[in-house]
Structure 1
């Protein structure tokens, strides 16, 4: 639970509390946490299936490498959020100090996975945009292991960013923690979010308006929906936490974390539904749906 503070607003929010009284749980917050827990469990099952299929059942290609890493990021985020929600729902002992330590740790770990999801979506969007704008280079000159190298660099960046934030925030230096969190969100908003949005806008315009395209392929639909859902469900967490550093509280912490859980849970179902639809929609196996979605990347490059 959050500590009782009367001075500046806490710079490190926790996803496990929204009640003012440290010893009593608000009914609404409890209900939202239960819903979040259920969403996390569904998301863990879905992303677990993605990890199994893309890791062992479907041939690797440049895009599935990114999707596999995105599933890892979403799975770990949901795991931390499920643990956090479960601790809050089951908490019977009023111990604000102990709860604060666990909440801060879980929040920072969830930020690590959350940032990685943003980084990967940006890389996926740029990759597909380049494949459409420069198809000849993409087919013939693209480095074979570029996807793996980019993912490794992004994981290293995410670790470095969260390590810097953790070292400042867990030292209980509120002003330093505030500066670290603001810097992290500025990095997300300025460096990664704009290229992701711009690449998808270019991709949609090129695919829909290009004379050689009859209709957008499944992969383009999947990428567009994944980014769209991230903007709808994932971005509010960044905006909420960024504004909180300046003392603004626009909505409950439970709501933004529930939205973030939905964002990390929805991707496997997007893959399945898009892969299930042909001329007429029909339910197929999870593996067949994934094969339909990601098979088209095999003709884009020999990687």
Structure 2
């Protein structure tokens, strides 16, 4: 039986709680309180993520879901915020596990929290890929986009993204188990499928999305430079920051995840790298809504009018998309007339 607190997103709570890597039958854990500095800092960090994540993503969900007019762009950002919001709701279980060094929520919640965390990873990156592809299509094929780009189709794409994310997240729940030792642990029993799980996650959760986004951005930049059709760069800055933040938060996690296959459990430097990259991965879930709010020139005004600025940033992206499409149509029509 392959027992490990191996480093996938569903195991962030296990990495942060510093569980032992011994075989469950030989585990001898002792109840303890969170007294060490590293443990206290980790709990405080998770509390910050929890509070800011719920507040920020909740604001985006409220604005894009109920206050703003439905559009393709609001559909994308609503889904992204919903993914991060759901993840943040699972953090209290993580914090309890860290503080008490014991899993007190049963087998179902052990599996469910791992599933939700992995679902957040996949759905977030898939939505960012969709945003990039959508922007690329809007600029490259403006006439087609104007006729075919509808809220209904965008909603269908989001549903498919969540479905695929759910399917890819099933292994995180399947291989999750609990064990009653001196304390209860929530751990992975990969049953010989450890490498398959890691490389599947790396391929579909990082490599393919990265190549897709890179390709879309290359096409987008060339097209924009050729036509010089975008007067406002803010929407593209927002997209760039969202995507850059995701990769900054997740690249260390993916690297450490692959390196973990070589069994560095006795290396204190590697264990520190696990904790740092896990914290970065968690942090991504509360950063996105604040990126919307802090894009303006006057940071103080943004802080005072946080909700309205989130709406303004997203709404400007929508207007820019239609403005870019309109200008491109005019350019294409003039070129056709000339020919």
So what's the TM-score if we normalise by structure 2? 0.74
- 61, 72, 87: which is aligned to 1:62? 72
Partner of 2:60: 50
Residue 266 (structure 1) aligned to one of 278, 281, 287? 287
- Secondary structure in structure 1 of the residue aligned to 2:70: coil
Residue segments in structure 2 that go unaligned for 5+ positions in a row: 21-27, 178-187, 324-339
- Provide the secondary structure at the position in 2 that maps to 1:59: coil
**1:212 matched to which residue of 2?**
228
Instruction: Name the residue aligned to 1:77.
Output: 87
Match of 2:274 in 1: 253
In the aligned structure 2, how far is the partner of 1:287 from the partner of 1:41?
A: 16
- Evaluate the alpha carbon distance shift between residue 282 and residue 201 of structure 1 in structure 2; reply closer, same or farther with a 3 A threshold: farther
**Cα distance, 1:234 vs structure 2:** 2.6
The corresponding residue for 1:180 is 197
Shift of 1:159: 1.1
Between structure 1 and structure 2, the one with the greater Rg is: 2
Q: CA deviation at 1:106?
A: 2.5
Give 1:32's aligned residue: 42
Query: 2 CA distance for matches of 1:132 and 1:28?
Result: 48
**Counterparts of residues 10-159 of structure 1 (less than 5 Å):** 10-11=5-6, 13=11, 14-18=14-18, 22-23=29-30, 24=32, 25=34, 26-89=36-99, 91=100, 95=102, 105-159=112-166
Instruction: Using the TM superposition, give the Cα deviation of residue 19 of structure 1 relative to its aligned residue in structure 2, in angstroms.
Output: 5.8
In 2, are the aligned partners of 1:77 and 1:114 still within 8 Å (CA)? no
Does the C-alpha gap of structure 1 residues 214 and 144 become closer, same or farther in structure 2, counting only changes over 3 Å? closer
In structure 1, the partner of 2:297 is 277
Give the length in aligned residue pairs: 290
CA gap 1:169/1:194 in 2 versus in 1, 3 angstroms: farther
SS of the equivalent of 1:145 reads helix
Q: How far apart are the structure 2 equivalents of 1:62 and 1:169?
A: 37
Aligned to 1:293, which of 313, 316, 331? 313
1:167 lines up with 2:187 in the alignment: no
Query: Does the 8 Å contact 1:41/1:82 carry over to 2?
Result: no
Deviation of the 1:157 alpha carbon: 0.6
The 3 A distance-change label for structure 1 pair 214 and 113 is: closer
Distance 1:174 1:265, change over 3 A: same
Change (3 A) 1:238 1:22: farther
Q: Return the alpha-carbon distance in structure 1 between the equivalents of residues 247 and 239 of structure 2.
A: 12
Query: What is the CA distance between 1:235 and its match in structure 2?
Result: 2.9
Q: Over aligned residue pairs, what C-alpha RMSD do you find?
A: 3.1
Separation in 2 of the partners of 1:150 and 1:254? 34
Is 2:211 the counterpart of 1:194? yes
In structure 2, the partner of 1:222 is 238
